[in-house]
Amino acid sequence: MHVESDVAIVGAGAAGLPLARWLARPPEGARRLTAVLLAAPPGPARVPPRTWCFREAGAGPYAVLVASWQRLRARSGGGRTVRAGIATLRCKMLYSDALDALDALVGGEIAASRRGSRVEAVVDRVASAPGGAVAHARRAGGDRLTVRARWVFDSRPLAEPPPARAALSQHFRGGFVRSHRSAFDPSVVHLMDFRAPRPAPRTPQPAHGFSFG
């Protein structure tokens, strides 16, 4: 199967979905472009559930937020507390499961616009081609799919960082904490904490980069 489009969007996540929605509902006077949203089908190709945190001004495209804050807090290795406001931005958090509802909504909007489609397929590679690029993919049943577009937006992490750049890999482990008395300020998001469990004065710092709790 072969598809032609102005734009091909690889990945229906927190980056690809807003772009697909914007293309399906462009503002007045904007150029009308056709778009194909390539979303991984249910199964191992989809990323597991996770929590998304980001900074954004205004309401944004996500209606189902777990929480949002405009006040931030951090603690130095010596125990000094730093507080700051980030207006007009907000620090927002949502569960990736909420993107499933947005994915369905965007798919409907793309179909209603008659300027594109949402296709469930796993993209193997993206290659340059005269006048644009080609995304090579396979559908759940194994059928091959190629999408030729003037622009390809690939939201997947790079397999290798560009020259003179480093890849950043972050892994967070968390849990739910219950307290018999009031112990947390829900209006403040606590970010980096450079203190360490006693008796160490602070978290051990690596030769390059830094560590925090």
The full set of domains in the chain, from first to last, is 2-48+97-154 (3.50.50.60), 51-95+162-213 (no CATH)
Considering 73-87, 101-115, 153-167, the range whose residues carry the highest mean pLDDT is 73-87
Give which of 150, 146, 129 is closest to 137, Cα–Cα.
146
Residue 190 has pLDDT above 70, yes or no: yes
pTM beyond cutoff 0.75: no
Residue 115: both structure tokens together: 């300027």
Residue 8 has pLDDT above 80, yes or no: yes
Structure confidence at residue 197 as a pLDDT band (50, 70, 90):
low
**What is the reported pLDDT for 201?**
64
Give which of 41, 32, 55, 44 is closest to 12, Cα–Cα.
41
**What is the reported pLDDT for 86?**
94
Map tokens 């965007």 to a residue: 106
Going by DSSP bridges, is the β-strand pair 144-154/71-75 parallel, antiparallel, or unpaired?
unpaired
